[in-house]
Amino acid sequence: MIRFLAFVLAVAHFSAIQGAKLKQIGQFAVPHAAFVTVVEDPHASSVKDKYHLFISSFSGVPLTTDHVYEVTKIGTKLGNLGATKVITATSSVTWPNEVSVVPQSVFHKNMVSVSGGFLVPLKTHGVIDLFDYSSAPPKGPYRITDNSADAAWFYHRVQWKDMNGDGRVDAVSCRAKKPVLFGREDGELVWFEQPASGALSSTWKTHVLAHGPDVFFEITSLPTSNGKMDCIITAGFFSKSLNVYWTTDPHGRWDDASKIKNRVINNHIKAVFDVNVVDLDKDGKLDLLVTSNDAKNAAMYAFEIPSDFRTGTFKEHVIATGFAPRASGIGKGAPGSPEVVYENDHHTSGKPMIILSGDDDGRAHLLKPRSTSHGDFRYSMETILDVGSGTVGKIAQKDVDGDGYPEVFIPAYDAGKVYVYTFKP
């Protein structure tokens, strides 16, 4: 009976997924909208006041000013998105990339990080800045990277972990550099040590863990024959390699580079763009959701994580392929970053759907699993948004108004808009 009920629930969930549709509820203007992030205020008194939307905006024109914009209490704006008031959160970061939440445990404040810089003339000097978004506009920047260091490094993402066991949470990132005219690209997996005092008024010490990783990454915990172990999955864009790193320190510390080990998961899928760690097929085991990015025939993949990630085989599945930019040009590629989503936040027992940024293919895509079976990574794909030859940036999703259905925020860079969708019928 229990198995039968589980089967019935799985079939019902699958049927709901197949019928799930995203409908556009509005749009608002944001110049050069590139990355969007939904940030939660845990101290807010109501659901609709709880979430703020941050949008990174940059221009490839040298000497222009870039911005991070903010929409406060985005859940209150859904009824009239055309009238949305967008404020400047900061214009101090050159080429701002991902805005990431800083866990409350780090500073016991509402903080975000902004990672900056890119391989564009006069915009290669990347930084990591912190901002306190308890007020609008946010307070900051509180810069943790060293301005006097090699100005060629740029950053895309920050995550947080106590790397040396001192009880203070440190900032982890990957960084890259690529000379505009001559020379080879380089990448590093690094962490910045939170000081014992003056964390928001001083530079944090840099520790290099490894050479090679360069853009996006994910800190997670994966299985071994001796139990779970903390590790870092890195997506190498320039190195064209998907890797996993871990420490052999008996206390799980990462402060001795000689104890850092790594292995290549895959180095045959072109430029590795982004990686998520999620149970895609709902078999109780985590998988890697990975995108490559290229000028032709790039793809999205799933890798099944073995029982021991250090020695086992990561089984590869191609989820979708054939991605390419709509217009030619230096640096153009597709697709971008994926985002796992459920139609209803209260029913997450079945397989998730995937929202995919097409990047320079000018589209946003929704992928639905084709079956309820474990080990089946087949998906159907439909286009949500098509902006032509323009670029669709990094997508975010969250139920920001408390109705049980997530809203989806899609930035269209060339159109200068953020499109908002919902799964609510």
> What are 189-201's pLDDT values in tens digits?
999 999 999 999 9
By three-state DSSP, how is residue 81 classified?
Answer: helix
Whether the pLDDT of residue 388 is over 70: the answer is yes
pLDDT confidence bin for 66, thresholds 50/70/90: very high
The predicted pLDDT at position 181 comes to 64
pLDDT confidence bin for 328, thresholds 50/70/90: confident
pLDDT confidence bin for 33, thresholds 50/70/90: very high
Task: Tell me what the mean pLDDT of segment 120-149 comes to.
Answer: 92
Euclidean distance between CA atoms 261 and 247, whole angstroms: 6
Residue among 407, 412, 411 nearest 23 (CA): 407
What proportion of the chain, given as a percentage, has pLDDT over 70? 94
> What are 108-128's pLDDT values in tens digits?
999 999 999 998 888 988 999
Residue among 96, 113, 41 nearest 72 (CA): 41
The whole-chain average pLDDT of the chain stands at 94
Euclidean distance between CA atoms 57 and 97, whole angstroms: 8
Euclidean distance between CA atoms 155 and 214, whole angstroms: 8
Lowest pLDDT segment from 33-47, 53-67, 139-153, 269-283: 139-153
Task: Tell me what the mean pLDDT of segment 29-51 comes to.
Answer: 96
Task: Tell me what the mean pLDDT of segment 266-274 comes to.
Answer: 97
pLDDT confidence bin for 7, thresholds 50/70/90: low
Q: What are phi and psi of 142, to 5 degrees?
A: -110, 100
> What are 72-99's pLDDT values in tens digits?
999 999 999 999 999 999 999 999 999 9
Whether the pLDDT of residue 149 is over 80: the answer is no
Task: Tell me what the mean pLDDT of segment 373-395 comes to.
Answer: 97
What proportion of the chain, given as a percentage, has pLDDT over 90? 87
Whether the pLDDT of residue 2 is over 60: the answer is no
The predicted pLDDT at position 72 comes to 98
The predicted pLDDT at position 15 comes to 56
- Centroid of chain to Cα 209: 21
pLDDT confidence bin for 345, thresholds 50/70/90: confident
Query: For 371-375, which contacts have Cβ atoms below 8 Å and span 24 or more sequence positions?
Result: 371/14, 372/10, 372/11, 372/13, 372/14, 373/281, 374/281, 374/282, 374/283, 375/281, 375/283, 375/304
> What are 10-27's pLDDT values in tens digits?
555 555 566 789 999 999
The predicted pLDDT at position 240 comes to 96
